[in-house]
Amino acid sequence: MSEPITPRSQRQATKANRYKFFLGIDIGTTRTNVSYIRIIEKSRKVAQWSDVIDVGQWNPGTASVFKGPGRQVPTESLYTIRERQISHGWEATKIPITSSGDDDAVHICRAKPLSGYPEDGHWPQHLQDALKRLTKAKLIEKEEEVDIFEVNFMRWVLTRVKETLLRVGYTEDSDVEIYVCCPVAWVQKDRRRFKRNMARAAREVEMGDYFLTKQGVAFTRNGETKYDIKECDSLNRVRVLTEAEAAAIFLIATTEAQDLGILPGTTIITGDIGGGTVDFSCFQLSDDSKPRLRRQLCPPSGMNTMHHVCSQKRREH
């Protein structure tokens, strides 16, 4: 049994906090991007969109097709068996993978479960084969599931983020709130599983308000659904939302949008044209002087017929 971990929010700080950090994370199908806002603890300053800073220089020394700081990085991993090395981001793209395959390299890309996490044993065959191969090579522990590919990439991302924040005042006592985007097709159980994977990565990097808890889990074995109590990673101060929701929140939070004076009570359409899906949704705003999302008029969707649904809902309201 693991040693109990007290949530960071309940621990006694060794010194006064100076900064609080807000992280925005989008682990996309093809590209990953992370931004942050830093504010002084107990400050009443309202953060503006101009305060948002992108994390860059993901793979220092690796040539990138982008000029400048490189705010995005490929959501890709490369496991090399002979060298017993795991690379992520641009490092994972530096070794070309031939169509005939490479006995030494396992390339993981486009592994994000856009339609939700499959039951164990029902993941895409290439990911199951990769897990078996890397387990046999002892690059991955025997008891791991396909989620380990996501956890390993998240760990690498959070490690780079922590290195960046350490240069701008982050300490072990700093409060960190995380907002991370997810595919629109995910239901609550998918969001919970995603949060558990991110919590595990955060614990291993020692970043954020992480802790261990016991949770009831359901699993399928021999066609029968079973239940068990397992020790799981958990993370406070993390919110999982869709790109459409994030875009709507950003719109009503910007000074420029507020100055227009036309947002209260209106209906807005937001969308995300990503590498895996194109997602749109409709939101109705409150009548307040500083509007908020009152309700979502239709669930976000990446279906080709989504623009017809949005048009119909907009006309109704």
**303 vs 78, residue with greater confidence:** 78
pLDDT band at 65; cut points 50, 70, 90: very low
pLDDT, position 36? 94
pLDDT, position 38? 92
Mean pLDDT of the chain: 79
CA 13 to chain centre: 27
Mean pLDDT of 230-245: 82
The domains located in the chain, with CATH, are: 1-236 (3.30.420), 248-316 (no CATH)
pLDDT band at 161; cut points 50, 70, 90: very high
**168 vs 293, residue with greater confidence:** 168
**5 vs 240, residue with greater confidence:** 240
